[in-house]
């Protein structure tokens, strides 16, 4: 709750395959955390926007690595789509997303 208003939150694990797919739609966010929680050594690459993700082109996460974006003063958290691709068929991406 924020001043009595519910803030949408997404806490999930998404399976990422060897072809690019949309992981998150556009949304009003003030915090976004993405973590590679794969157990088979898969490397996940994600990109911001509606273009397909390509391996090693964009933000690359090895197992256990994370990327965080959040509001800070005038800077606003990314609110567009997120696309992702994995080096293997069963990559896992943990998502924590908090909306406005």
Residue 64 belongs to domain with CATH number: 2.60.120.770
Confidence of residue 9 (pLDDT cuts 50, 70, 90): confident
Q: Which two tokens stand for residue 61?
A: 């996460």
Centroid of chain to Cα 41: 18
In a domain, 65, yes or no: yes
pLDDT classification of 1: cutoffs 50, 70, 90 = very low
Q: Which two tokens stand for residue 29?
A: 């966010």
Q: Flag whether 34 is in a domain.
A: yes
pLDDT tens per residue across span 34-76: 999 999 999 999 999 999 999 999 999 999 999 999 999 999 9
pLDDT at 6: 57
**Which residues make beta-bridge pairs with 51?**
none
Tokens encoding 71: 């509001």
- Distance, in Å, from the CA atom of 2 to the CA atom of 6, rounded to the nearest integer, reads 6
The CB density around residue 94, as the number of other CB atoms within 10 Å, is: 15
Tell me how far the alpha carbon of residue 100 is from its chain's centroid.
17
Q: What is the pTM of this model?
A: 0.88
Query: How many domains in the chain?
Result: 1
Residue 48 forms part of a structural domain: yes
């Amino acid at each position: 709750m924020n001043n009595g208003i519910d803030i949408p939150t997404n806490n999930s694990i998404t399976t990422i395959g060897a072809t690019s797919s949309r992981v998150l739609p556009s949304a009003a966010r003030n915090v976004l955390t993405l973590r590679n929680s794969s157990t088979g050594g898969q490397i996940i690459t994600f990109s911001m926007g509606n273009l397909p993700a390509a391996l090693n082109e964009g933000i690359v996460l090895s197992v256990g690595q994370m990327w965080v974006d959040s509001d800070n003063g005038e800077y606003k958290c990314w609110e567009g789509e997120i696309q992702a691709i994995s080096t293997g068929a069963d990559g896992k991406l943990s998502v924590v997303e908090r909306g406005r």
